Amino acid sequence: MDIPTYIKNSIQQVEGDAKIWIDEFLQRLSTNANILEVGSGTGRDANYIEKKGYIVIRTDIYPEFIEYQNEKYKKKVLFFDLKQEIIPDNFLKKFDGLFVRSVLNHFSFEEIKEILRRLKLVLKSNALFAFNLPNNIFSQKIIDYLKQENFNLISLNISHKDGWVYIIVSSPYPQTSL
Ligand SMILES: C[S@@+](CC[C@H](N)C(=O)[O-])C[C@H]1O[C@@H](n2cnc3c(N)ncnc32)[C@H](O)[C@@H]1O
């Protein structure tokens, strides 16, 4: 990825079907929710979410994105690599919300399964997880895998305007025994 060119051409507004999806995600969370964003990039969505009063822990793997947000918005961005086996020590707690936009399309289905298994570990029970995938990469087997992992599907919107599928699921919550 040519990050300087990506940053130069990036749109800083949250709009269209992505905005509808983010707004639904936020409406389902209380404003004191802690939201982890993986792959914050230029910080567009974290800025939008924070303006609505929520707390966002921003993360990325590339120094260019981390420095861009440090310099432009004076925001701290933690290093977090989805492919690393260990959840970083600086993630002191579990999160109420997990937001991963336009990131999972960089991985194969087998990698996504592994990533989802690990991300589950940073979520509180009944937390919300929003992610998207391009139409041509999305497949029902991802939803089937999430169900197998006891996530519950909250919403799934296929955007014919921008070519992405927008998904919100909730993490498993403990079953009470009768
Ligand atoms: C297309 S950008 C999307 C950025 C932002 N979420 C957005 O929607 O504008 C992909 C993002 O995924 C991040 N990324 C790529 N590989 C990653 C990995 N292994 N772990 C965490 N983030 C990763 C990149 O650094 C970049 O911020």
- Bridging pattern class, strands 95-100 and 123-134: parallel
Question: Rounded to 5 degrees, what are φ and ψ at 87?
Answer: -75, 130
What's the pLDDT at 80? Answer: 93
What's the pLDDT at 113? Answer: 95
What's the pLDDT at 140? Answer: 95
Whose Cα sits closest to atom 27 in ligand 1?
41
Q: For ligand 1, is residue 58 a contact (CB within 6 Å)?
A: no
Q: For ligand 1, is residue 118 a contact (CB within 6 Å)?
A: no
* pLDDT tens digits along 159-177: 999 999 999 999 998 765 5
pTM of the model: 0.96
DSSP tag of 158:
E
For residues 36 and 40, what is the distance between their CA atoms, to the nearest angstrom?
Answer: 10
Structure-model confidence comparison of residues 62 and 89, the more confident one: 62
What's the pLDDT at 177? Answer: 54
- Residues 6 or more apart whose Cβ sits within 8 Å of residue 167: 130, 131, 132, 133, 143, 153, 155, 156, 157
Q: For ligand 1, is residue 106 a contact (CB within 6 Å)?
A: yes
Beta bridge partners of residue 35, listed in sequence order = 56, 97
Q: Is 57 helix (H, G, I), strand (E, B) or coil?
A: strand
Q: Is 89 helix (H, G, I), strand (E, B) or coil?
A: coil
For residues 35 and 81, what is the distance between their CA atoms, to the nearest angstrom?
Answer: 17
- Host H or E run for residue 11: none
* pLDDT tens digits along 9-62: 999 999 999 999 999 999 999 999 999 999 999 999 999 999 999 999 999 999
pLDDT category of residue 130 using cuts at 50, 70 and 90: very high
Domain architecture of the chain: domains with CATH: 3-170 (3.40.50.150)
